[in-house]
Chain A
Amino acid sequence: DAGITQSPRHKVTETGTPVTLRCHQTENHRYMYWYRQDPGHGLRLIHYSYGVKDTDKGEVSDGYSVSRSKTEDFLLTLESATSSQTSVYFCAISGGLAGVYEQYFGPGTRLTVT
């Protein structure tokens, strides 16, 4: 199994508070991704990173920011949490040699915004 951990695994927070989710990998993969998963919507990409300090927006990036200061860590921040951001958040990594490579997913963080 690829070495990906997410923390926290569960979090309940109040509307308006900032929240940071952490993804940590031990695989030295170049690419890292944050997704959210909601019933009826499948997986939706929030942000991704293609290297240290190199990040870009996905399809549902409003209200989220990310940072990647070192290869192994990719942080997702909800600037001011809203109830619509209640979801399960997954981190994924991919990398290796140039060309085609699959993604490896973390176990997920279940976030509830009350």
Chain B
Amino acid sequence: GDSVTQMEGPVTLSEEAFLTINCTYTATGYPSLFWYVQYPGEGLQLLLKATKADDKGSNKGFEATYRKETTSFHLEKGSVQVSDSAVYFCALKIPLSGGSYIPTFGRGTSLIVHP
């Protein structure tokens, strides 16, 4: 079945450090890929997405590139802020015409940014 593997956390960084959170996937079809962020006490919210190979999703300084050859969708940010402290979830979804409308989520990676 489909699956998403994220690096284990917590990831602890100092403010202005470079961030990478690894995400790899296995899928039977041609998925779309997502990163969601969950701030303390809130629900998940979409951070960025990519729907086809070599697409780059970006938002709020975060980026991720859909790499079909390595089945990866790593999240990066050049300079993190304390306000980026949150839990980040990688997810995939097979387009409706090709299969399930149930997304598959990774376990989440906690990011802690210190001043």
What residue of chain B has the Cβ atom nearest to residue A30's Cβ?
B101
CB-defined contacts of B101 to chain A, threshold 8 Å: 31, 50, 94
Find residues 75-115 in chain B having any chain A CB closer than 8 Å to their own CB: 89, 93, 95-97, 101-103, 105-108
Q: Contacts A48-B102, A105-B44 given; indicate if A42 touches B96 (C-beta within 8 A).
A: no
Q: Decide if B61 is an interface residue (CB 8 Å cutoff).
A: no
Determine whether the beta carbon of B108 is less than 8 Å from that of A42.
yes
Q: Decide if A45 is an interface residue (CB 8 Å cutoff).
A: yes
Q: Mark A96-114, 1 if CB is under 8 A from B, else 0.
A: 0011101111111000000
CB-defined contacts of B42 to chain A, threshold 8 Å: 107-108
Count the A residues whose beta carbon is within 8 Å of the partner chain — how many? 22
CB-defined contacts of B46 to chain A, threshold 8 Å: 102-104
- For chain A, what secondary structure do more than half of its interface residues adopt (helix, strand, loop), or is it mixed? strand
Which residue of B32, B34, B49, B102 is within 8 Å of A45 (Cβ)?
Answer: B102
CA distance A41 to B95 in the complex (A): 26
CA distance A33 to B43 in the complex (A): 13
Which residue of A43, A48, A100, A104 is within 8 Å of B89 (Cβ)?
Answer: A43
CA distance A5 to B102 in the complex (A): 21
Q: Decide if B51 is an interface residue (CB 8 Å cutoff).
A: yes
Whole-angstrom distance between the Cβ of A5 and the nearest chain B Cβ: 11
Q: Decide if A90 is an interface residue (CB 8 Å cutoff).
A: yes
Q: Decide if B12 is an interface residue (CB 8 Å cutoff).
A: no
CA distance A35 to B93 in the complex (A): 16
Q: Contacts A42-B106, A45-B102 given; indicate if A105 touches B96 (C-beta within 8 A).
A: no
CB-defined contacts of B106 to chain A, threshold 8 Å: 42
